[in-house]
């Protein structure tokens, strides 16, 4: 299989490690662990009014978005394929 094009949506090409400690080993499958990690990252408790709204979201997707990711700035120009970043 050959990669012919690449689309990155809601992502940026820059290194992201600000919340590495808060979300380390958090996969979003345990809502309590996710909420504790989010509270640690924010530096404040999630209010009882907001908690039910938060839990209706895809916590696995949020956890994946919060994980550290490498810098793609150097790699992207080397790709000889169509790329769309949005």
Residue 19 has pLDDT above 70, yes or no: no
Helices of type H across 2-66: 20-23, 31-42, 51-55, 59-66
| 28 phi-psi bin (left φ>0, alpha ψ -120 to 50, beta other) | left
The confidence score (pLDDT) of residue 76 equals 75
Q: Is 25 helix (H, G, I), strand (E, B) or coil?
A: coil
Contacts of 38 (CB under 8 A, 6+ apart): 22, 46, 54
Tell which wins on pLDDT, 56 or 22: 56
The confidence score (pLDDT) of residue 41 equals 84
| 73 phi-psi bin (left φ>0, alpha ψ -120 to 50, beta other) | alpha
The confidence score (pLDDT) of residue 30 equals 97
């Amino acid at each position: 299989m050959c990669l012919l094009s690449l689309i990155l949506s809601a992502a940026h090409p820059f290194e992201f490690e600000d919340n590495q400690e808060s979300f380390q080993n958090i996969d979003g499958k345990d809502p309590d662990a996710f909420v504790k990690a989010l509270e640690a990252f924010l530096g404040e408790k999630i209010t009882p009014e907001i908690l039910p709204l938060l839990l209706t979201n895809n916590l696995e997707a949020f956890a994946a978005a919060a994980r550290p990711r490498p810098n793609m700035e150097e790699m992207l120009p080397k790709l000889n394929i169509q790329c769309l970043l949005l």
